[in-house]
Amino acid sequence: MPPPIEGGSTVLAAAEAELLDLSVESGRADWVHATYITDDTADLATRATVRFLAATGRWARVASALPRHGLSRSDARKVDLLRTGLPLIATDDPALSRELAATVNSMEATYAKGRHTPIGSTEAVDLQALSRILSGTRDPVVLEDVWNGWHRVGRSLRQPFARYVELGNLGARELGFPDLGAVWRSRYDLPPDDFAREAERLWAEVRPLYESLHAYVRGRLRERYGPDTVPERGPIPAHLLGNMWAQSWESIYPVVAPSGTSAAYDLTRILVDRGTRPTDLVRYAEGFFVSLGLPPLPATFWERSMFERPRDREVVCHASAWDLDLVDDLRIKMCIEITAEDFATVHHELGHNYYQRAYAGQPYLFRNGAHDGFHEAVGDTIALSVTPEYLVRIGLLESSPDPAHDVGLLLLRALEKIAFLPFGLLVDRWRWDVFSGAIAPAEYNRSWWELTARYQGVAPPSARPESEFDPGAKYHVAANVPYMRYFLAHILQFQFHRALVRVAGESGPLHRASIYGSAAVGERLRAMLEMGASTEWPDALETLTGERRMEARGLLEYFAPLQRWLDDQTRRLPRGW
Catalytic residue among 354, 486, 516, 558: 486
Contacts of 56 (CB under 8 A, 6+ apart): 19, 82, 85, 86, 89, 90
User: pTM of the prediction?
Assistant: 0.92
Catalytically annotated residue among 116, 239, 476, 497: 476
Tell me if residue 321 falls in helix, strand or coil.
strand
Arithmetic mean of pLDDT, 285-307 = 97
Catalytic residue among 16, 349, 389, 551: 349
Q: What's the confidence (pLDDT) of residue 2?
A: 39
Average of pLDDT values for 524-546? 98
- Does residue 349 have an active-site annotation? yes
Quick: pLDDT tens for 468-502: 999 999 999 999 999 999 999 999 999 999 999 99
Which string of DSSP letters, residue by residue, matches 46-86? HHHHHHHHHHHHHHHHHHHTS-GGGS-HHHHHHHHHHHHSS
**Is residue 197 a contact partner of residue 550, using CB atoms and an 8 Å limit?**
no
Residue 234 Rama label (left phi>0; alpha psi -120 to 50; beta)? left
> What mean pLDDT is reported for the chain?
94
pLDDT digits (tens, 9 = 90+) for 81-115: 998 988 888 888 999 989 999 999 899 999 999 99
Return the minimum-mean-pLDDT range out of 84-88, 276-280, 517-521.
84-88
DSSP β-bridge partners for residue 331: 322
Annotated catalytic residue, options 348, 371, 375, 490:
348
Contact 423, 456 (CB under 8 A): yes
Q: How far apart, in whole angstroms, are the C-alpha atoms of residue 51 and residue 94?
A: 9
Q: Is 376 a catalytic residue?
A: yes
Select which of 352, 371, 490, 497 is catalytic: 352
Instruction: Identify which of 421, 399, 478, 472 has the alpha carbon closest to the alpha carbon of residue 248.
Output: 421
Angstrom distance (rounded) from CA 168 to CA 436: 11
Q: Which of 13, 319, 453, 520 is catalytic?
A: 319
d(CA 431, CA 111): 18
Convert the pLDDT of each residue in 218-259 to its tens digit: 999 999 999 999 999 999 999 999 999 999 999 999 999 987
Return d(Cα 527, Cα 522) in angstroms, integer.
Answer: 9
pLDDT tens per residue, range 253-266: 999 998 766 557 88
Catalytic site includes residue 348: yes
Is 443 noted as a catalytic residue in this protein? no
The more confident residue out of 62 and 530 is 530
Q: Is 303:337 a contact under the CB 8 Å cutoff?
A: no
Check if 69 is active-site.
no
Q: For this structure, is 319 an active site residue? A: yes
By residue count, the chain amounts to: 577
Cβ distance 532 to 384 under 8 Å? no
State mean pLDDT over 508-525: 95
Question: Rounded to an integer, what distance in angstroms lies between the CA atom of residue 557 and that of residue 555?
Answer: 5
User: Is 71 exposed, middle or buried, given 0-12, 13-18 or 19+ CB atoms closer than 10 A?
Assistant: buried
126-168: pLDDT as tens digits: 999 999 999 999 999 999 999 999 999 999 999 999 999 999 9
Q: What φ, ψ does residue 441 adopt, rounded to 5°? A: -55, -35
- Per annotation, catalytic residue among 116, 151, 239, 318: 318
> How far is Cα 147 from Cα 244, in angstroms, rounded to an integer?
6
